[in-house]
A and B are shown apart, each in its own frame.
Chain A
Amino acid sequence: AQSVTQLDSHVSVSEGTPVLLRCNYSSSYSPSLFWYVQHPNKGLQLLLKYTSAATLVKGINGFEAEFKKSETSFHLTKPSAHMSDAAEYFCVVSLNNAGNMLTFGGGTRLMVKP
């Protein structure tokens, strides 16, 4: 079985300060990992993905994530938050040998203060 835990349901940062959104996963097999962002009343937009290549993955809008197998973590970071980054962020896992089902974390709502 696979599962994803996002450790913080809400994160608040000031504009211009770093962002850290934490994600831990549980998987018996080699996973693919994704981060998606959801703005209010919109669908999900892919930020970045990890698929067993480089462990440090760079995504859109200045976001990046590091896959740490020993810690079963895939935390999302950004050096400097922008007001437009305020949204809900989902960490997602997909098993490489189990078809196509995505398992979502509970989400982290990022708030950015001016």
Chain B
Amino acid sequence: NAGVMQNPRHLVRRRGQEARLRCSPMKGHSHVYWYRQLPEEGLKFMVYLQKENIIDESGMPKERFSAEFPKEGPSILRIQQVVRGDSAAYFCASSATGTGAQGQPQHFGDGTRLSIL
């Protein structure tokens, strides 16, 4: 009974390159969330997606960042033209239903640690 799977666990990129982070939700979960954690800080919400739809992207930077959750396959968080400030741990979470309305918890993956050289 696999949990939320994120890959890669560690990703190193040079400034200006693209970073692609993948997340497979728990089986039966159709709600996916992305969070960013800077060193010594809590997690900050980035984006909430359901299959093929972005529901809430209020935490996403307006430029260079995008997310998708296609009908088939994992959710992808894409960062174009990375800069040093993008270095962080990026966590994906999933839930079976809407967390707020139902009180259902989100289940987290182990994260992708992105380092920008």
Interface positions of A from 33 to 72, Cβ below 8 Å from B: 34, 36, 41-46, 49, 51-52
| CB–CB B110/A99 < 8 A | no
Chain A residues contacting B31 (CB-CB under 8 Å) are 100
B25 within 8 A of A: no
Chain A residues contacting B108 (CB-CB under 8 Å) are 36, 43-45
Tally chain B residues at the interface, Cβ within 8 Å: 31
Interface positions of A from 86 to 114, Cβ below 8 Å from B: 90, 94-107
| CB–CB B101/A97 < 8 A | yes
Chain B residues contacting A100 (CB-CB under 8 Å) are 31, 33, 48, 55-56, 95, 98-101, 106
Partner-B contacts on A (CB < 8 A): 32, 34, 36, 41-46, 49, 51-52, 90, 94-107
